[in-house]
Structure 1
Amino acid sequence: MPDHYGTLPAALIYHEARGNAAWTAAGVDDAKRAAALVRASQALDALYGARYPGVIASADQDLLWPRTDVIWRGEDLAADVVPAPIEKAAYELSLRELVKPGSLAPDVKAGPQKVLTEVKGVKWSVVGDTSSRAALPIVDGILAEILTHARTGTTVTTLARF
């Protein structure tokens, strides 16, 4: 089973069309490009996999695509097809990984914390990083047509007292 989305020749065409010179910079060979594509594909699944439609096609595949029960652009997507937005998103992320290896999988940092900054007036301040993940607007746009809506994790319930 493939360990990355797309192909190196298709990635080259993608990056050349966008003038991404780092993809073919001096000292960058196919081994580095392939490694970046593997890391990018893994990051893509980690960041967006919960919002992929359908279900994984085979339990023994390394990545979350191909999938079954997917309707894309009004038609059933064959169970052996990886849609173009997934491959393009992998190419986009692979450039980031090529330029800065590990950038899509940073070590986890402590999130925001409440700190008591005043005692008598009991004042709390929030310190620390409040961002949940890197902003990837280009990738978000590429994937917009294939992803399902984000689950917010919150629900509204009504509490009734009798």
Structure 2
Amino acid sequence: MSEHYGNLPAALTYHEDRGNAAWAAAGVDDAKRTAALIRGSQALDAFYGSRYPGVIATVDQDLLWPRKNVTWRGQALAEDATPKPIEHAAYELALRELAKPGSLAPDAAAGPQKVLTRVDKIQWEVVGNATARAVLPIVDGILAEILTPAPTGTTVTTLARF
């Protein structure tokens, strides 16, 4: 089973079409691209996997796609298929990982956060422990048509914008 979504030639075409020169930059070899694609795919599943439709196709697969019982664009998706948005999102995340390895999964200690508790007097309160994660609007947009809605009450804290 594959450790990443998509493949290197398709990732190169994807990034060339978008003018993302860092993917093909001098000094970047296929081993580094593959490692970035693996980390990007793992991050994709970690960030969005709970919102993927259907169920995993086999229990021994490394990633959360392919999946069973998925309808996409009005059609039943084959149980051995991975939709293009998943591959494209992995390519976007891999680019960030190639530029800065580990950026999608930083070691971060949960710590207190400031919460606005009163607006009329601008009052902040330090509460609880929370861990932040990266927010990447381009990836959110790519995946919008394939993801199931987030559960109510879900919040996302921005760690960094790339």
The bucket for the TM-score relative to the shorter chain is: 0.7 to 0.9
Q: What is the CA-CA distance between 1:151 and the residue it aligns to?
A: 1.1
Identity %: 75
Q: 1:11 to 1:124 in 2, by over 3 A?
A: closer
The aligned length equals 146
TM-score, normalization: structure 1? Answer: 0.84
Confirm whether residue 99 of structure 1 aligns to residue 99 of structure 2: yes
Matches within 5 A, 1:1-150: 1-113=1-113, 125-126=125-126, 132-150=132-150
Give the distance between the partners of 2:128 and 2:23, measured in 1 at CA.
35
Q: CA RMSD in A?
A: 2.2
Amino acid at match of 2:59: A
1:125: Cα distance to partner?
Answer: 3.2
Deviation at residue 131 of structure 1 after TM alignment: 7.2
Q: 1:124 to 1:137 in 2, by over 3 A?
A: closer
Distance in 2 between residues matched to 1:124 and 1:51, nearest whole Å: 32
Q: 1: CA distance between counterparts of 2:40 and 2:152?
A: 25
Unaligned runs of 5+ in 1: 115-122, 155-162
* Alignment gaps of 5+ in structure 2: 115-122, 155-162
CA distance in 2, matches of 1:106, 1:48: 17
Residues in 1 aligned to 2:106 and 2:129: alpha-carbon distance in whole angstroms: 14
Q: Which protein shows a greater Rg?
A: 1
Q: Residue in 2 aligned with 1:159?
A: none
Deviations 1:90-144 (A, max 9, x none): 0000000000000011112323257xxxxxxxx9732899773211100000000
Tell me if the contact between 2:96 and 2:103 (Cα under 8 Å) persists in the aligned partners.
yes
| 8 Å contact kept, 2:97–2:104 | yes
Query: How far apart, in 2, do the equivalents of 1:124 and 1:15 lie?
Result: 43
**What one-letter code is carried by the residue in structure 2 that aligns with 1:35?**
A
